[in-house]
Amino acid sequence: MRFVFLSFAFMGWAFYELSGGADFQPRGVRDTAPVQIAEATDPQPAPPVVEPVRNVEPVLKPRAPKQAPERIARQVPPPDREEIVARLAQAGTGADLFATDTTQGLTLVSLEQGAASLRQFDDVETTADAAEPFVAPAPDIREVAGTRVNMRNGPGTNFPVISRVSLGDEVLVLSDPGNGWLRLRVLPEQQVGWISASLIRKKAD
């Protein structure tokens, strides 16, 4: 029993020391540590930035142009009627001068120039009348040289046959492209088609 009491006594002392001893205070009674609040300090203004002074070139302003003095046109009085008549009489030959009263002025008529214009116009009309009238070429009428000749829809044997003509039938040549075929019109039926040039001959007189 003595060891049991000693054990309890040792455990009680150890718990006492671990809990703080004489300085032990319950949690509800323990003073809370003051919270330190940082005070906001006013920001100090930044020092003004001083730009270095640069060499400033002087700005030259152009001078305003001087205004030229206005020229005042001198009014010249109109020439007299007698002076105009004298100048016109000396200017040209073959001109008739007809003088009217002072209010109507003067009228100058060139008879030689008008006569020359009329003669030139008459020459143009005479030349136009003397031109030869247009003469249309005579129609190229030929005849069929084969006994039974096929007329086709185009210049070649690969085109379909549209009609047949007989020996001696008259045809009018419409075009000759030079490829061995003629575009013809049968007379008097007016059938138009293509026939080989070797089967067409000129009509005997």
Domain boundaries, the chain: 80-120, 141-202
141-202 homologous superfamily: SH3 Domains (2.30.30.40)
Neighbours of 171 (CB within 10 A): 25
Six-digit token pair at 75? 């009014």
Mean pLDDT, contiguous 10-residue spans, the chain (205 residues) = 78 76 60 58 68 65 71 66 72 49 43 52 54 76 92 94 92 92 90 94 81
Specify the pTM: 0.36
Radius of gyration of the chain (CA): 66
Six-digit token pair at 71? 């020229």
Backbone phi, then psi, for 71, in 5-degree steps?
Answer: -95, 130
CA dihedral 124, 125, 127, 129 (to 10 degrees): 160
**What is the per-residue pLDDT for 196?**
94
